Amino acid sequence: MSALNAAWPSIKSECLSVLGSELHYQAMIYHCLRQYDVPIDQLGMNVKMMIYDPISPLFKELTEKRHQDFRGGFEPIPDIVIFKPSIKGDWRRRNYEKTLSYMLVAIEVKASERERGRLRPGEIIQDISKLSAHRDEVESKGSTMYPVMIIIDSAPLPKERMTQSGYEESIKAATDSNVGLMYTSPEREYNSIQGE
């Protein structure tokens, strides 16, 4: 968390200096974390983690929505993951037990790149719910993980950015779910993990 807080000024500055997709911002955040001493063998992007027989209501529900032949597990794919050193740079799909138990931080990224629209709280709240469920799954395996939602609301026009009510709803959802929230836009910022 200290590395994420240390990297936050660079994340804000670099992400707000370009207009890109969510995937582009994920890569920029990854780069900033590397610059602030997160070792390469502890930092993964889009890490697939199979959770067999999930215990969280959300992951159970999502598993049941799958075709009958593919039920029994759910595979969350966090945008960025910081692992414990014991992962030793191996977060392959087949290493799912260790990717779950060796997680330190799971990060989801949302960006305001939308065609004729803006970033809405519903999609952010959905990701917050997934992060919270993922934490519950990790804790059920006897480990701990801190979930973080990062919102890069970089759209150049105010009408393209989140509304005030959407911004406030997202903060409330993150607070209620005990999920860290970091938000930046040209006009405001929020960081609930500051000082951790």
Per-residue pLDDT of the chain (196 residues; tens, 9 = 90+): 889 999 999 999 999 999 989 999 999 999 999 999 899 999 999 999 888 888 787 877 777 766 666 666 778 899 999 999 999 999 988 887 888 889 999 999 999 877 777 888 999 999 999 999 999 989 988 899 999 999 999 999 988 999 999 999 999 999 999 999 999 999 999 999 976 5
Residue 110 · residue 119 · CB < 8 Å = yes
Q: Does an H or E element contain 171, and which?
A: helix 164-177
Within 13 Å, how many C-alpha atoms sit on residue 175's CB side?
9
Give me the pLDDT at residue 70, please.
64
Both tokens assigned to 41: 């063998």
d(CA 141, CA 130): 17
For residue 89, the SS3 value is coil
